[in-house]
Structure 1
Amino acid sequence: MVHGTHNAIEDSRNKDILISINNELFPRNEAKISVFDSGYLVGDGIWEALRLHRGVLVFLDDHLNRLWSAAATVGMNFPFTKEELTANIWSTLKANDMEDGVHVRIMITRGIKKTPSQDPRLTISGPNIVIIPEYKTASKESKEKGITLFTSTIRRGSPDYLDPKLNCHSKLHEVQALIHAIEAGADEALMLDVNGFVSTCNATNFFVVKNEEVWTSTPKYCMNGITRAKVLEVCKENNISCYEKDFSLFDVYGADEAFVTGTFGGLTPVTKIDGRVVGKGNYGNMTKRLNGLYESLIEEIVNNG
């Protein structure tokens, strides 16, 4: 099995899920999109992912705000409101009789082109909206084991040509970074920014722990992670020293702990980077504490939902 932050426990129910395409439901093996779709042709699309936990779409407002910000950034006009998209998500979940342990992927492309081209003026339809809900529970074994990272030569881009905060379909640079890591025998890739400081991983945000302090990269070249933001939030609320700062691999190799964050896996410990063991090479105490605080925050939202 592939090891990494997106390891999920196998669930046979996923073979029968219904997928929403433009508000119409299709069985998994019949869910298709045109080859003239902007996302397929030139990666002209944006996406969001969130979790359904005990009947609550966790951090829904944060995810919707990030999606609408992405749309504004790429000049995509939605012919629907946040409330209408939310109703569409719930309709898809109810059609699948889903209540818990679900990962929801929302993908919105600019629409169908009249001919292969990057020119948005050649789009002849409204946006295509795909909602894929799957039963996906993160593997506890993977979380306890932790992951290994390899520093790729592929850099996180500058905001003036592809802002890392943008959740877009153009992910080839991240795929390249991950391939570097896999070929080096690691699980996932660590990526530096254009100045050589640590930025993020290929699909998650990155943190280190040094002398009871929690460090993560500045927002300048960083993915706009919602889980990242929640970790910063619980640190502040619990008087844990936490800093957004520039730091290098020198600091990473000497860290006491390291972990990554993401919507699906939450907090996942990092045990080795570039062949070097991080701290004691295990699920560290600070990472465990922060993971507990993060999970408590979710439980509070669910209980008040």
Structure 2
Amino acid sequence: MKYFSKNTWVYFNGTFVKADHTEVDLFGQSLHYGYSAIEGIRAYNTHNGTRLFRAEQHYDRLRRSCELVGISFPWKTDLLVERTYELLDKNNLRSAYIRPLVTAGQNMYLTPAKDSDIVITAWEWGPFLGTDLIRVSLSPYQRPNPDSLPPEAKISGQYVASIVATNEATQRGFDEAILLDRDGYVAQASSNNLFIEKDTVLYTPATGSIFPGITRQTVLEIANVLNIDVIEKKLSPDDLRGADSAFLTGTATGIVGIAAVDDAVFPEEWSDTLGATIQRAYKNLTLEKENYEVII
């Protein structure tokens, strides 16, 4: 798909410029070493107008990601939120995916560059994995060791592992890969968090090796409001295969149900699962419909 045209605006270091007029720093650390931080934010076309979902939380996490790896982040959250709304308006977008990216400046040494840039782009993008149930496979690749990089930092270079795992799974006919951690426990999908249902209880891998997503946290909050029990714990591959149902969560994905993992088909009808209930509540929350005041 094409993400921009000659009429597309992006926000770059305090000003709005046309996307095809931006330049790549050929000597920047981000290009050479993957030393940059990213975020993903959704804008929804609600009855209250275009609304960013938890934008402050996303920009605060972007700041934290940069701090964790030493990338300079001089921008204020409230200003970035304001400029994001302006960017959507300039591009006539009512429902969109927004990608803030912080890149590091020129430095060929393996020490942090002194300066950094921020660019915010936006485009129309449906659910990342579609809306139908998906088939996933346990990947031969592991989630990166949490002792090598902070797992809660959303760093661009870490996504190379996600691309490799996804490519391996799709070449075998699956929609997504499920990665294990260094100890052989289920961690997450290539870029999404995982929940499973067993005997009317939800389980999700504990933090430590996973990326603690904002959508994951939102699901935990929704489950609390709906009196759905959720247990965060280490999950084995057998726990996943033996589940009644399962689903993935992420900003780009939303909430998507899983039909099967490898050759193990989940027995519960998706419409009858806790995941489907939370999926409906999450949609109402993002669109600011019924009961959203209570959930927030």
- Confirm or deny that 1:276 pairs with 2:264: yes
* 3-state SS of 2:140 partner: coil
Whichever residue aligns with residue 95 of structure 2, its letter is: G
Q: What does residue range 172-211 of structure 1 map to in structure 2 within 5 Å?
A: 172-211=160-199
Q: Shift of the alpha carbon at 1:283? A: 5.2
Q: Is the 8 A contact 1:41 1:117 kept in 2?
A: no
* Unaligned runs of at least 5 residues, structure 2: none
Q: Shift of the alpha carbon at 1:190? A: 0.0
Pair 1:112–1:91, CA change in 2 (3 A): farther
Pair 1:32–1:278, CA change in 2 (3 A): farther
- Which whole-Å CA distance do the structure 1 matches of 2:269 and 2:161 have between them? 29
**2:110: which partner in 1?**
118
**1:46: which partner in 2?**
37
Q: Shift of the alpha carbon at 1:284? A: 4.8
The Cα offsets for residues 165-195 of structure 1, whole Å up to 9 and x where unpaired, read as 2100112112221122122221111011111
Whichever residue aligns with residue 100 of structure 2, its letter is: I
- Confirm or deny that 1:165 pairs with 2:159: no
**2:120: which partner in 1?**
131
The Cα offsets for residues 99-156 of structure 1, whole Å up to 9 and x where unpaired, read as x21110000012233xx44332xx36x212111110123389x31x211111112211
TM-score of the two chains, using structure 2 as the length reference? 0.88
- Which whole-Å CA distance do the structure 1 matches of 2:249 and 2:116 have between them? 30
**2:221: which partner in 1?**
233
Q: 1:250 aligns with which of 232, 238, 249?
A: 238
Q: What does residue range 79-118 of structure 1 map to in structure 2 within 5 Å?
A: 79-98=74-93, 100-113=94-107, 116-118=108-110
Q: Shift of the alpha carbon at 1:61? A: 2.0
Deviates more, 1:33-42 or 1:155-164: 155-164
* Unaligned runs of at least 5 residues, structure 1: 1-9
- Confirm or deny that 1:35 pairs with 2:26: yes
- Which whole-Å CA distance do the structure 2 matches of 1:146 and 1:58 have between them? 24
* 3-state SS of 1:175 partner: helix
Q: Is the 8 A contact 1:271 1:283 kept in 2?
A: no
Q: Is the 8 A contact 1:269 1:283 kept in 2?
A: no
Q: Is the 8 A contact 1:42 1:117 kept in 2?
A: no
Q: Is the 8 A contact 1:156 1:164 kept in 2?
A: no
- Aligned-residue sequence identity (percent) comes to 25
Q: What does residue range 264-303 of structure 1 map to in structure 2 within 5 Å?
A: 264-280=252-268, 282=270, 284-300=272-288
Whichever residue aligns with residue 8 of structure 2, its letter is: I
* 3-state SS of 1:34 partner: coil
- Which whole-Å CA distance do the structure 2 matches of 1:185 and 1:290 have between them? 28
The Cα offsets for residues 208-246 of structure 1, whole Å up to 9 and x where unpaired, read as 111111110001111120000010111111110111111
- Which whole-Å CA distance do the structure 1 matches of 2:120 and 2:104 have between them? 15
Pair 1:24–1:36, CA change in 2 (3 A): farther
Q: Is the 8 A contact 1:174 1:202 kept in 2?
A: yes
**1:75: which partner in 2?**
70
Whichever residue aligns with residue 133 of structure 1, its letter is: A
Q: Is the 8 A contact 2:56 2:78 kept in 1?
A: no
Deviates more, 1:180-189 or 1:156-165: 156-165
Q: Is the 8 A contact 1:18 1:27 kept in 2?
A: yes
The Cα RMSD (Å) is 2.4
Q: Is the 8 A contact 1:210 1:255 kept in 2?
A: yes
Larger helix share, 1 or 2: 1
